[in-house]
Amino acid sequence: MSVNRAGEARLVQAVHGRHERPADPGYQTGLVEELRQSYGRAGLIDLYGRFATGDGVVDTLMRKAIWQAIARSCGAGLQVAGGAGFKHPETFEIGNGVFIGAQAYIQGRFDGTCVIGDNVWIGPMAYFDARDLVIEDCVGWGPGAKVLGSTHTALPVDVPIIRTDLEIKPVRIGAWADIGTNATILPGVSIGKGAIVGAGAVVVSDVEPFSVVAGVPAKFIRWRTEADPVLDISHGGRS
């Protein structure tokens, strides 16, 4: 007799990063080089618009190839979902096995640095102010989560804030960290290795490795242990 488990919590094996991805086909390497030589940076950005949103094989392949052609460096196994966008992708250094979700947006800066490590998973509608950003290996980035890397000084007070100088502060996300759905990481913050940021949290100060923080502003909740229960505060439905 079958057992109806509807409505019960359950554990299933995660997929991303657990299995070795096959190498990109050889023709893709040739395509990337041809695109780089034929179009240049500005031409590639224009070309990306033609393939930015489709779900078919050609659109998916072209998004991947254009990201690889235009980034400062890019590893194998990149996946870019429809509607994902960028600014100043020439400042990006992307590792192996990275997934970028639908409608995610990564805004680099012409003199900035955006480093994304191996096997990073970026959820749909995420936003990166990636002027001085490092995300280390195996980070999970929840849907809608954001990182801000700069603020206006708001000085002097007799001019509109948007016209005041921009202060850029580095943001570092340690390996294995997990950023919850719709969380926001503010400029200058470092998230320690293996830390968990709860859904909707606003992180205004550094987070210790292997700790759990949540709330607005985010506060320390506890340390992670081997006896952790299933954490509902961090995961946003990704696999």
- Residues with a catalytic annotation lie at 152
Whole-Å CA distances, 62 to 35, 56, 65, 95, 102: 10, 10, 5, 18, 15
Output the six-digit token pair for 184: 């926001």
Question: What is d(CA 99, CA 141) in angstroms, rounded to the nearest whole number?
Answer: 10
Residues 146/140, Cβ–Cβ less than 8 Å: no
Output the six-digit token pair for 82: 């429809």
Question: What is d(CA 4, CA 201) in angstroms, rounded to the nearest whole number?
Answer: 35
Question: What is d(CA 142, CA 22) in angstroms, rounded to the nearest whole number?
Answer: 25
User: Which region holds residue 158: left if phi is over 0, alpha if psi is between -120 and 50, else beta?
Assistant: alpha
Annotate 92-107 with DSSP letters as a single string: EEE-TT-EE-TT-EEE
Compute, in degrees rounded to 10, the torsion defined by CA atoms 29, 97, 117, 232.
Answer: 160
Q: Which residues pair with 197 in a beta bridge?
A: 179, 213
| Spatial CB neighbours of 165, under 8 Å, sequence gap ≥ 6 | 152, 153, 155
Could you give the angle at the alpha carbon of 9 between the alpha carbons of 8 and 14, nearest 5°?
140
| Radius of gyration from C-alpha coordinates of the chain | 19
